[in-house]
Structure 1
Amino acid sequence: MALRYKTFFYNQKNPQPFQERILASSLAVAVSQTLINPMEVLKTRLMLQRTGQYKGLLDCACQILGREGTRAFYRGYLPNMLGIVPYACTDLAVYESLRWVWLYLGFESNNPNGMVSLLSITLSSTCGQMASYPLTLVRTRMQAQDTLEGSNPTMQDVFGKILAQQGMPGLYRGVTPTLLKVLPAVGISYVVYEAMKSVLGVAKSLPSCLEG
């Protein structure tokens, strides 16, 4: 989807400006997160359920719908959307900076070796995760709330409670396992992406400025 938006904003005469790439990436993530937010809510509730609370995914969805209504499936949507901008900006800025460094050190800019690309993507994704993690934490806290227990906090309420009880470090609780999953997730995605580009011949049909 990011590629579709990049193509929409792409100007054949000039390299794609940084702000257009940010907009394209943000739109792609916004659409995907809008579609999967209900599943994120269900996943969070199932992970935190009390013993015997839900019989399965469908039962969980029915109970949430019956008690809390359809709006419950979009708990945490606002911090999720707000987190897209710092993530996309940081991710892309770090990635472009690393590409410039590799070029300065003598690596090919359009087709660097696999390890260089993997390292660049991993570092940029890690920085993006760090930039947006407080909003991710707030989103998860909001998704975990059950109105049956008399709690339906806003984003400001969750931020205030975390800061009051734990201070600034509280906004980064759980960040270590989140970062530890970046390397295998990015590695697998990169290897599969490159393999499918080769199988489908995508690399030969795309302008070089769209492959970044």
Structure 2
Amino acid sequence: MVGLKPSDIPPTPAVKFLGAGTAACIADLFTFPLDTAKVRLQIQGESTGSVAANGIRYKGVFGTMSTIVKTEGAKSLYNGLVAGLQRQMSFASIRIGLYDTVKLFYTNGKEKAGIGSRILAGCTTGALAVTIAQPTDVVKVRFQAQANLRGVKRRYNGTMDAYRTIAKKEGIRGLWKGTFPNVTRNAIVNCTELVTYDLIKENLLHYKLMTDNLPCHFLSAFGAGFCTTVIASPVDVVKTRYMNSPPGQYKSALNCAWTMITKEGPTAFYKGFVPSFLRLGSWNVVMFVSYEQLKRAMMMSKERMEYAV
């Protein structure tokens, strides 16, 4: 390994796994307020909830953030952050960190992967990650939807209280509420996000338009974020509403989607699109740039340790 550049050394699965989870947490710290605004806009229009009961209306991503700060305080923009970080360490580590490994499995070890193998790998790691991390996502969404208003009883007092309360009142199934739309959403998101990033970066390098550095990672991540938002928004809105709903409001995720389209029209599926793109686009940029740098840093550290030995 001596004499090789960090970019020449293939990262191990463990490096990718740890790097992906850490990078996703960094991205969440930067973009969480945008995600909270997205959730509030997505659930707007439901007749239940403390926000609806108090007649608060949200307009636009920055208007929503401003309203939250004025009515609830700046800390409310980070409601559910603990569950969000728990989610990323268990979720992103699998769906992003294991993507290359699963892709190699589908290509029987061949480095050159076709579009079909990439899509299969994205679906597999996305679905597996959701199945494991679903409870953290349920708690995160409910905290983000919870308004901290005077005179309104808080739904949960803390992250662990939320896990316990949901399990007690709704059963263990309550912690996996919305798994089907979430698996669907994240299979779509993972495929679009990772495959698009993969393809954009690969072509930029193949045609020598850019070198494997920060601008290349930035452009690839930005393109992946936009494509993912356009394709995944409808499923994301249904997932958010269904996961946040009290028992009995919707019979299933499909019933939630049907209720939305009959009561609010097709545009309901793209509620919160701008914050979704701002959040997903910026999240992709921070995450992929951090991920690429973390991989290199960890491989350099590993190389120094092996050289010292």
The whole-number CA distance in structure 2 between the counterparts of 1:95 and 1:63 is: 39
* Counterpart amino acid of residue 191 in structure 1: V
The answer to whether the 8 A contact 2:193-2:228 is kept is yes
The whole-number CA distance in structure 2 between the counterparts of 1:98 and 1:53 is: 43
Q: Which residue of 1 aligns with 2:122?
A: 25
The whole-number CA distance in structure 2 between the counterparts of 1:119 and 1:158 is: 36
Which of 272, 276, 283 is the aligned partner of 1:174? Answer: 272
Q: How far 1:96 moved relative to its partner?
A: 5.7
* Counterpart amino acid of residue 116 in structure 2: Q
Q: Identify if the C-alpha distance between structure 1 residues 48 and 89 changes in structure 2 by more than 3 Å, giving closer, same or farther.
A: closer
TM-score by length of 2: 0.57
Q: Identify if the C-alpha distance between structure 1 residues 104 and 201 changes in structure 2 by more than 3 Å, giving closer, same or farther.
A: closer
Q: Which residue of 2 aligns with 1:38?
A: 135
Q: Identify if the C-alpha distance between structure 1 residues 45 and 102 changes in structure 2 by more than 3 Å, giving closer, same or farther.
A: closer
Q: How far 1:75 moved relative to its partner?
A: 1.2
Matched, 1:51 2:153: yes
Matched, 1:141 2:238: no
Q: Identify if the C-alpha distance between structure 1 residues 112 and 71 changes in structure 2 by more than 3 Å, giving closer, same or farther.
A: same
The answer to whether the 8 A contact 1:134-1:172 is kept is yes
Equivalent residues in 2 for 1:125-136, closer than 5 Å: 125-136=225-236
Question: Per-residue displacement from partner, 1:101-121 (whole Å, max 9, x unpaired)?
Answer: 63686425xx44421331122
The answer to whether the 8 A contact 2:222-2:282 is kept is no
Matched, 1:69 2:69: no
Question: Per-residue displacement from partner, 1:53-104 (whole Å, max 9, x unpaired)?
Answer: 3222222222211221111111111111122343344345644664576368
Aligned length: 200
TM-score by length of 1: 0.80
Identity rate, percent:
24
Q: Residue 251 of structure 2 aligns to a residue in which SS? A: coil
The answer to whether the 8 A contact 2:138-2:243 is kept is yes
The whole-number CA distance in structure 2 between the counterparts of 1:162 and 1:73 is: 23
The gaps in structure 2 that reach 5 residues or longer are 1-97, 147-151, 304-309
Q: CA RMSD in A?
A: 2.7
The whole-number CA distance in structure 2 between the counterparts of 1:73 and 1:179 is: 27
* Counterpart amino acid of residue 61 in structure 1: Y
The answer to whether the 8 A contact 1:142-1:153 is kept is no
Q: Identify if the C-alpha distance between structure 1 residues 151 and 195 changes in structure 2 by more than 3 Å, giving closer, same or farther.
A: same
* Counterpart amino acid of residue 134 in structure 2: N
The gaps in structure 1 that reach 5 residues or longer are 206-212
The whole-number CA distance in structure 2 between the counterparts of 1:112 and 1:14 is: 18
Which of 146, 149, 158 is the aligned partner of 2:256? Answer: 158
* Counterpart amino acid of residue 232 in structure 2: S
* Counterpart amino acid of residue 102 in structure 2: Y
Q: How far 1:153 moved relative to its partner?
A: 2.5
The answer to whether the 8 A contact 2:122-2:190 is kept is yes
Q: Which residue of 2 aligns with 1:121?
A: 221
The whole-number CA distance in structure 2 between the counterparts of 1:41 and 1:65 is: 11
Q: Which residue of 2 aligns with 1:209?
A: none
Which of 183, 194, 197 is the aligned partner of 2:292? Answer: 194
Q: Identify if the C-alpha distance between structure 1 residues 99 and 194 changes in structure 2 by more than 3 Å, giving closer, same or farther.
A: closer
Deviates more, 1:137-146 or 1:75-84: 75-84
Q: How far 1:189 moved relative to its partner?
A: 1.7
The answer to whether the 8 A contact 1:44-1:140 is kept is yes
The whole-number CA distance in structure 2 between the counterparts of 1:104 and 1:34 is: 36
Q: How far 1:37 moved relative to its partner?
A: 0.9
The higher relative CO (CA closer than 8 Å, separation ≥ 6) is in 2
Matched, 1:3 2:100: yes
The whole-number CA distance in structure 2 between the counterparts of 1:97 and 1:194 is: 16
Q: How far 1:163 moved relative to its partner?
A: 0.6
Q: Residue 126 of structure 1 aligns to a residue in which SS? A: helix
